[in-house]
Amino acid sequence: MLALNTDFHGTNRKSWEIREALSRIARAGFSHVHWCHEWSGSYLYSVHEMLQIREWCDEFGLLVKGLHAPVGEKTSDMKDYTSPNDYSRLAGVELIKNRVDLAYILNAEAVVLHLCAVPPWNLLEQEDGFLERFLGPVMRSFDELEPYCRARRIKICNENTGGSPAVFYRIFDTLYKRYDGDFMGLCLDTGHANIHCKENCFEYAEHYNDRLFMIHIHDNHGETDEHILPFGGTFDWEGFAKALARSAYRLPIVMEPGCTEEGDDTAWLERAFEAGSRFSAMVEKHRL
C-alpha cells in the first residue's frame, strides 16, 4: 500500500484536471492518496465538491489516508486558528472544520496542520513568554475542534515545519500533555526534518513514536525544501525505516514529492512508485 499527494504536479484547478491526476496516480499503482489540493490559503469546499472528490476516488479505486488542511493566508491574519484576534481565530477554526468534514466524507484518518501560516520561529526561540502567548489561542482553537473531530473520528496531526527541534519539543510536549492520541498526533515531514534536524533527521519519530500517525516522505540535500523523490538526496532512509517500524504509524506510506518535469509525467510516477515501494519494504523488514 502506498499513497501519493494529489498535487504532485501542481494544484490543478479544473475539475477534469483533478480527475485526470487521480486517474494517473491509480494507473501508476498507488492504492491511496493524500489530498493536498488547496492546502494553502482559505478555500472552503462545498459538500457537493466533497462528494465529487469521493466519487472520483471510488471510480479509480483510491483510498484516502489523510489530507492537508490550510491555516489561512500567508499575506494576512485572516482565517488563522492561531490568531490572537478572536474573529480571525474562529474563522480559522471554521476553515479546519471544513477539512475535517472533507476527511470524514473521504473516509480519511487525519488532517495535517502547520502551526500557522507564517510561524514566528525567531520570537518563539528568543522572546521570553512568547511561546505561552502563542499557544493560548492555539489551544482555545483545539479545545473547540476536539469534540468536532472526535465525533467524526478524525485526528489532528501537527507537522514539523521550520524552526529548531528544541522549539517543537516545547510545543508538542505542551499539546500532547493536554490532548490524547485519539485526537492529536504528529505528522513527520522528512524534508523538513532533513533541513532542521541536522544531528538526527528522524529524532521526532523516536521521541514521539506513540504519536506518529501521519508522514510526508520526500527528500532534499539538507538546505532547501526540494521535495524530490526518496533516495535522491541526503535523508537517512534506513534509520527512519527502523524508527517508523517501532512507532504507532500504520501503512500506507504517504509520499509528498513534486514533479517538475514538463509534459507527460508517466515515467516520473513510475519512479515515484518504485521509490515509495522500496521504502515501504524497508519499514516492513524492520517490523519482522
- pLDDT higher than threshold 80 for residue 73: no
Q: Residue 119: its pLDDT value, please? A: 63
Instruction: With cut-offs at 50, 70 and 90, classify the pLDDT of residue 123.
Output: low
Q: Quick check: 39 and 68 in contact, CB under 8 A?
A: yes
**Cα separations (Å) of 114 from 74, 90, 154, 216, 224?**
12, 17, 16, 13, 18
Domain count, the chain: 1
Q: Residue 161: its pLDDT value, please? A: 85
C-alpha R_g of the chain: 18
Find where cell 493524500 sits. 34
Percent of the chain with pLDDT over 90: 73
Q: What is the mean pLDDT of residues 83-88?
A: 92
| Cell representation of residue 28 | 501508476
Averaged pLDDT score across all residues of the chain: 91
Q: Quick check: 193 and 237 in contact, CB under 8 A?
A: no
Q: Residue 44: its pLDDT value, please? A: 96
Find where cell 477554526 sits. 93
What SS3 state is found at 208? coil
Angle of helix 15-27 relative to helix 47-59, nearest 10 degrees, comes to 30
Among 4-8, 84-88, 211-215, 262-266, where is mean pLDDT lowest? 262-266
d(CA 104, CA 152): 6
Q: Residue 277: its pLDDT value, please? A: 97
- Report which secondary-structure segment, H or E, holds 232: none
Range of the domain at 30: 2-287
CATH of the domain at 208: 3.20.20.150
∠ CA 146-87-85, rounded to 5°: 95
Q: Which neighbouring-strand residues pair with 221?
A: none
Q: Taking the model in full, what pTM does it have?
A: 0.94
| Cell representation of residue 122 | 525567531
Instruction: With cut-offs at 50, 70 and 90, classify the pLDDT of residue 125.
Output: low
Q: How many CB atoms lie within 10 A of CB 105?
A: 17
